[in-house]
Amino acid sequence: METIIKEITPLFFSPLIVFEVPNSADLNRKLLDETASMRRLSPGVQLSNQNGWHSALDFFERAEPGCVDLARRIMDAIRQATQAISPGFDFSTVGLQCEGWINVNGKGGFNTPHDHPGWAWSGTYYVHLPENPPQRSGCIEFLDSRTNVRCITVDGASCFMSKYTHRPVSGTMLLFPSYLRHWVYPNEQDEERVSIAFNARFARRPK
Protein backbone atom coordinates (compact mmCIF):
# COMPACT_ATOMS: atom_id res chain seq x y z
CA MET A 1 0.00 0.00 0.00
CA GLU A 2 1.29 3.46 -0.90
CA THR A 3 2.20 5.79 1.98
CA ILE A 4 -0.10 8.83 1.98
CA ILE A 5 0.25 12.32 3.45
CA LYS A 6 -1.84 12.70 6.59
CA GLU A 7 -1.20 16.40 7.32
CA ILE A 8 1.06 19.34 6.44
CA THR A 9 1.53 21.92 9.20
CA PRO A 10 2.97 25.34 8.18
CA LEU A 11 5.51 25.74 10.99
CA PHE A 12 6.86 29.21 11.83
CA PHE A 13 5.13 30.87 8.89
CA SER A 14 5.10 34.66 8.50
CA PRO A 15 1.75 35.95 7.17
CA LEU A 16 1.56 38.73 4.60
CA ILE A 17 -2.05 39.93 4.66
CA VAL A 18 -3.39 42.09 1.82
CA PHE A 19 -6.48 44.24 2.37
CA GLU A 20 -8.45 46.07 -0.29
CA VAL A 21 -9.79 49.33 1.14
CA PRO A 22 -13.28 50.19 -0.15
CA ASN A 23 -13.99 53.66 -1.57
CA SER A 24 -10.28 54.36 -1.62
CA ALA A 25 -10.32 56.92 -4.45
CA ASP A 26 -12.01 59.62 -2.35
CA LEU A 27 -9.92 58.74 0.69
CA ASN A 28 -6.71 58.96 -1.34
CA ARG A 29 -7.59 62.42 -2.67
CA LYS A 30 -8.01 63.66 0.88
CA LEU A 31 -4.76 62.06 2.00
CA LEU A 32 -2.80 63.57 -0.90
CA ASP A 33 -4.10 67.06 -0.08
CA GLU A 34 -3.32 66.62 3.61
CA THR A 35 0.15 65.27 2.84
CA ALA A 36 0.91 68.29 0.63
CA SER A 37 -0.07 70.61 3.49
CA MET A 38 2.17 68.73 5.94
CA ARG A 39 5.14 68.90 3.58
CA ARG A 40 4.80 72.64 3.29
CA LEU A 41 5.14 72.91 7.07
CA SER A 42 7.81 70.30 7.80
CA PRO A 43 11.09 69.18 6.19
CA GLY A 44 10.42 65.65 7.47
CA VAL A 45 12.73 63.22 9.27
CA GLN A 46 15.44 60.81 8.14
CA LEU A 47 15.04 57.12 9.02
CA SER A 48 15.06 54.26 6.49
CA ASN A 49 14.03 56.66 3.72
CA GLN A 50 16.60 57.73 1.15
CA ASN A 51 15.95 60.68 -1.18
CA GLY A 52 12.36 60.93 0.03
CA TRP A 53 10.14 62.71 2.56
CA HIS A 54 9.21 60.98 5.83
CA SER A 55 6.72 62.64 8.18
CA ALA A 56 6.84 62.64 11.97
CA LEU A 57 5.51 59.50 13.68
CA ASP A 58 2.24 61.19 14.63
CA PHE A 59 -0.20 59.85 12.02
CA PHE A 60 -2.61 58.42 14.60
CA GLU A 61 -2.72 61.78 16.42
CA ARG A 62 -3.55 63.77 13.29
CA ALA A 63 -6.94 65.53 13.14
CA GLU A 64 -7.24 65.82 9.33
CA PRO A 65 -10.34 63.96 8.03
CA GLY A 66 -8.43 61.65 5.69
CA CYS A 67 -5.92 60.72 8.39
CA VAL A 68 -8.69 60.04 10.91
CA ASP A 69 -10.57 57.86 8.40
CA LEU A 70 -7.52 55.80 7.45
CA ALA A 71 -6.40 55.42 11.08
CA ARG A 72 -9.79 53.88 11.88
CA ARG A 73 -9.50 51.49 8.92
CA ILE A 74 -5.96 50.48 9.91
CA MET A 75 -7.01 49.65 13.46
CA ASP A 76 -9.91 47.58 12.13
CA ALA A 77 -7.53 45.71 9.79
CA ILE A 78 -5.16 44.99 12.69
CA ARG A 79 -8.01 43.49 14.70
CA GLN A 80 -9.12 41.37 11.72
CA ALA A 81 -5.60 40.10 11.09
CA THR A 82 -5.03 39.31 14.76
CA GLN A 83 -8.24 37.33 14.96
CA ALA A 84 -7.37 35.47 11.75
CA ILE A 85 -4.07 34.15 13.14
CA SER A 86 -5.28 33.83 16.76
CA PRO A 87 -9.03 33.13 16.83
CA GLY A 88 -9.12 33.03 20.63
CA PHE A 89 -7.36 36.37 21.15
CA ASP A 90 -9.09 38.31 23.96
CA PHE A 91 -9.32 41.95 22.86
CA SER A 92 -11.09 42.93 26.09
CA THR A 93 -7.88 42.55 28.11
CA VAL A 94 -5.65 44.75 25.96
CA GLY A 95 -5.38 48.20 24.43
CA LEU A 96 -4.12 48.83 20.90
CA GLN A 97 -1.10 51.13 20.54
CA CYS A 98 -0.18 52.50 17.10
CA GLU A 99 2.29 54.82 15.44
CA GLY A 100 2.31 55.84 11.79
CA TRP A 101 3.97 58.10 9.25
CA ILE A 102 3.75 59.20 5.64
CA ASN A 103 6.37 58.29 3.02
CA VAL A 104 6.78 60.25 -0.21
CA ASN A 105 9.37 58.83 -2.60
CA GLY A 106 10.16 60.84 -5.71
CA LYS A 107 12.38 59.57 -8.50
CA GLY A 108 15.30 57.66 -6.99
CA GLY A 109 13.66 57.51 -3.55
CA PHE A 110 13.68 54.20 -1.68
CA ASN A 111 13.76 52.65 1.79
CA THR A 112 16.76 50.69 3.03
CA PRO A 113 16.39 47.20 4.61
CA HIS A 114 14.94 47.42 8.11
CA ASP A 115 12.48 45.91 10.56
CA HIS A 116 10.41 47.37 13.40
CA PRO A 117 11.57 46.10 16.81
CA GLY A 118 9.24 46.57 19.74
CA TRP A 119 6.04 46.10 17.74
CA ALA A 120 3.82 43.14 16.81
CA TRP A 121 2.31 44.24 13.47
CA SER A 122 3.67 46.55 10.78
CA GLY A 123 2.05 47.59 7.55
CA THR A 124 1.64 50.04 4.71
CA TYR A 125 -1.32 51.66 3.00
CA TYR A 126 -0.70 52.75 -0.60
CA VAL A 127 -2.16 56.17 -1.36
CA HIS A 128 -0.71 56.85 -4.80
CA LEU A 129 1.56 54.79 -7.07
CA PRO A 130 2.67 55.71 -10.60
CA GLU A 131 1.07 53.60 -13.32
CA ASN A 132 2.98 51.02 -15.38
CA PRO A 133 6.15 50.94 -13.23
CA PRO A 134 9.22 49.43 -14.91
CA GLN A 135 10.65 46.17 -13.56
CA ARG A 136 10.72 46.28 -9.73
CA SER A 137 10.37 50.05 -9.33
CA GLY A 138 8.68 50.77 -6.00
CA CYS A 139 8.19 47.12 -5.07
CA ILE A 140 8.45 46.07 -1.44
CA GLU A 141 10.66 43.07 -0.77
CA PHE A 142 10.59 40.89 2.34
CA LEU A 143 13.72 39.06 3.50
CA ASP A 144 13.69 35.69 5.27
CA SER A 145 14.32 36.14 8.98
CA ARG A 146 15.53 32.54 9.41
CA THR A 147 19.18 31.48 9.22
CA ASN A 148 20.76 28.66 7.21
CA VAL A 149 17.64 28.07 5.12
CA ARG A 150 19.44 28.24 1.79
CA CYS A 151 21.90 25.36 2.35
CA ILE A 152 19.84 22.90 0.30
CA THR A 153 16.58 23.95 -1.34
CA VAL A 154 13.59 22.45 -3.08
CA ASP A 155 13.05 24.36 -6.32
CA GLY A 156 9.64 25.98 -6.54
CA ALA A 157 8.83 25.55 -2.83
CA SER A 158 7.90 28.87 -1.23
CA CYS A 159 9.02 27.69 2.22
CA PHE A 160 12.63 27.70 0.96
CA MET A 161 12.56 31.22 -0.50
CA SER A 162 15.06 33.70 0.95
CA LYS A 163 13.03 36.73 -0.22
CA TYR A 164 9.61 37.65 -1.56
CA THR A 165 8.85 40.67 -3.75
CA HIS A 166 5.39 42.25 -3.79
CA ARG A 167 4.05 44.75 -6.34
CA PRO A 168 1.70 47.07 -4.39
CA VAL A 169 -1.45 48.66 -5.78
CA SER A 170 -3.04 51.99 -4.81
CA GLY A 171 -5.92 51.55 -2.37
CA THR A 172 -4.54 48.38 -0.81
CA MET A 173 -3.01 47.78 2.60
CA LEU A 174 -0.34 45.27 3.62
CA LEU A 175 0.00 43.88 7.13
CA PHE A 176 2.85 41.67 8.33
CA PRO A 177 4.75 40.73 11.53
CA SER A 178 7.11 43.51 12.59
CA TYR A 179 10.12 41.16 12.76
CA LEU A 180 10.07 40.70 8.97
CA ARG A 181 12.98 42.61 7.48
CA HIS A 182 11.97 44.49 4.33
CA TRP A 183 12.94 47.28 1.98
CA VAL A 184 11.50 49.23 -0.96
CA TYR A 185 13.06 49.31 -4.43
CA PRO A 186 13.94 52.76 -5.82
CA ASN A 187 11.19 54.65 -7.62
CA GLU A 188 12.34 54.81 -11.25
CA GLN A 189 9.56 57.14 -12.40
CA ASP A 190 9.20 60.92 -12.30
CA GLU A 191 5.89 60.68 -10.46
CA GLU A 192 5.96 60.46 -6.67
CA ARG A 193 4.92 57.39 -4.67
CA VAL A 194 2.90 58.14 -1.54
CA SER A 195 2.29 55.57 1.17
CA ILE A 196 1.45 55.51 4.87
CA ALA A 197 3.32 53.06 7.09
CA PHE A 198 2.44 52.04 10.61
CA ASN A 199 3.27 49.84 13.59
CA ALA A 200 0.94 48.34 16.17
CA ARG A 201 1.11 46.34 19.40
CA PHE A 202 -1.19 45.26 22.21
CA ALA A 203 -0.64 46.34 25.80
CA ARG A 204 -2.32 44.67 28.76
CA ARG A 205 -4.93 46.79 30.48
CA PRO A 206 -4.28 47.35 34.18
CA LYS A 207 -6.50 45.21 36.41
Q: Which H, E and C letters describe the chain, residue by residue?
A: CCCCCCCCCCCCCCCCEEEECCCHHHHHHHHHHHHHHHHHHCCCCCCCEEEEEECCCCHHHCCCHHHHHHHHHHHHHHHHHHHHHCCCCCHHHEEEEEEEEEEEEEEEEEEEEECCCCCCEEEEEEEECCCCCCCCCCCEEEECCCCCCCCCCCCCCHHHCCEEEECCCCCEEEEEECCCEEEECCCCCCCCEEEEEEEEEEEECCC
The pLDDT value recorded for residue 33 is 98
**What does pTM read for this prediction?**
0.92
pLDDT averaged over 10-residue windows placed end to end, the chain, 207 residues: 89 94 96 97 83 92 98 98 96 96 94 95 97 93 82 81 93 97 95 97 87
The pLDDT value recorded for residue 161 is 85
The pLDDT value recorded for residue 150 is 64
The pLDDT value recorded for residue 165 is 96
The pLDDT value recorded for residue 152 is 74
Ordered by where they begin, the domains of the chain are 17-87+95-204 (2.60.120.620)
